[in-house]
A and B are shown apart, each in its own frame.
Chain A
Amino acid sequence: AQTVTQSQPEMSVQEAETVTLSCTYDTSESDYYLFWYKQPPSRQMILVIRQEAYKQQNATENRFSVNFQKAAKSFSLKISDSQLGDAAMYFCAATQGGSEKLVFGKGTKLTVNP
């Protein structure tokens, strides 16, 4: 079965600084998709960034970028110029099978200090 592991239960960063959240996954599939979701206290799961496994180029979305290492099955999220509004739980997720079933990690709680 596919697994997603986030080894950092909590991280903190100073406002305007850069932070990297780690994620590793295990899959036997050749074609899959990886995601980072943000879940603020409001509970709404918000898509931050998506990476297709067949693309070598790392995805970027404004201040958010990923470091996708397919051979190492690693998918880390870098947040640049951290803002107070970035404080939330961050979940790494991967697709499984031919459906849109997502397998999630346990999450990393990010605190942004002013």
Chain B
Amino acid sequence: ETGVTQSPTHLIKTRGQQVTLRCSSQSGHNTVSWYQQALGQGPQFIFQYYREEENGRGNFPPRFSGLQFPNYSSELNVNALELDDSALYLCASSMDTKRWREQYFGPGTRLTVT
């Protein structure tokens, strides 16, 4: 059984560019959630995908978008990058959307916007 993996580990982008981050969920998990963790802060919920459909969204603008594929892996896309988008992006997978299931987190992608 493999854990949650994310790619790339680090990347540097310029303001105004677009970026795609990837997440492979743990085997058997059909739900992926994305979080943004700014330096010195706790993670903030961006959105969740359940069986390829968005299942809840946090307070993030529409330039943050996502996809979930039939194999339940997921992408986070951010358009028109801003300096404040610099953060650690975490994805987490879970068995389903039931409240009591804990999420398993990936190691994160560190995004730097210059």
Contacts and interface: CB of A to CB of B under 8 A. Distances in A.
Contacts of B101: 100
B42 A100 contact: no
A103 B45 contact: yes
Interface of A: 4, 31-33, 35, 37, 42-47, 50, 52, 91, 93, 95, 97-107
Interface stretch (B66-74, B76-84, B92-100): B92-100
A47 B45 contact: no
A89 B108 CA distance: 15
Interface of B: 31, 33, 35, 40-45, 48, 55-56, 58, 88, 90, 92, 94, 97-108, 110
Contacts, number: 67
A43 to B, nearest CB: 5
A45 B99 contact: no
A103 B56 CA distance: 13
A44 B105 contact: yes
Contacts of A52: 100
Contact of B42 (A32, A46, A107): A107
The listed residue with most A CB atoms (<10 A of its CB), out of B31, B40, B97, B102, is B102
B112 to A, nearest CB: 14
B99 A102 contact: no
